[in-house]
Amino acid sequence: MIKSISPLISHHRDQLKAESRLNRTLLIGAILAALVAFSVFLLTLFGHYPLPVGERIFAGNPERVLGASNFFVATAIGAALRMWRMRQTRIKLLIAEAFLREDEEETGLRLLLEPMFGPDVWRGTKLKDAGGTEW
């Protein structure tokens, strides 16, 4: 029964990897857009309007471009945090799958359940580190 979970874990890990690629593209695009928007803000602030209609749009309120720059920075931060969380989840899934394949079902299942139940899932078990010390 437990062995049948392994392909499901692999499939979910592949889905997370594909979603992480999308977030990476979003991160790069948001960083570039933030840099462009901030440079347009600086140029507008100093009176050099980079766009043909820039003077009419930004002369009275250059903060519009600064707001767009802040939006792109926040988008980049959000994408980076999602990438970090997905990477941590993929690593946990990989380790849990290895435990399941090595007939350590209880440890593998506890590792899979840890995101839902928190560190309390490890209570009541005696874990040993590589040196054989229980903790």
Predicted pLDDT of residue 14: 83
Residues of the chain predicted below pLDDT 70:
1-4, 49-60, 124-135
Domain borders along the chain are 1-52+60-117
**Per-residue pLDDT reduced to its tens digit, 48-63:** 766 666 666 666 677 7
* pTM of the complete model: 0.69
Predicted pLDDT of residue 135: 47
Spatial separation of the C-alpha atoms in residues 57 and 60, rounded to whole Å: 7
Q: Does residue 66 contact residue 41 with C-beta atoms inside 8 Å?
A: yes
Q: What is the 3-state secondary structure (H, E, C) of 16-84?
A: HHHHHHHHHHHHHHHHHHHHHHHHHHHHHHCCCCCCCCHHHHHCCCCHHHHHHHHHHHHHHHHHHHHHH
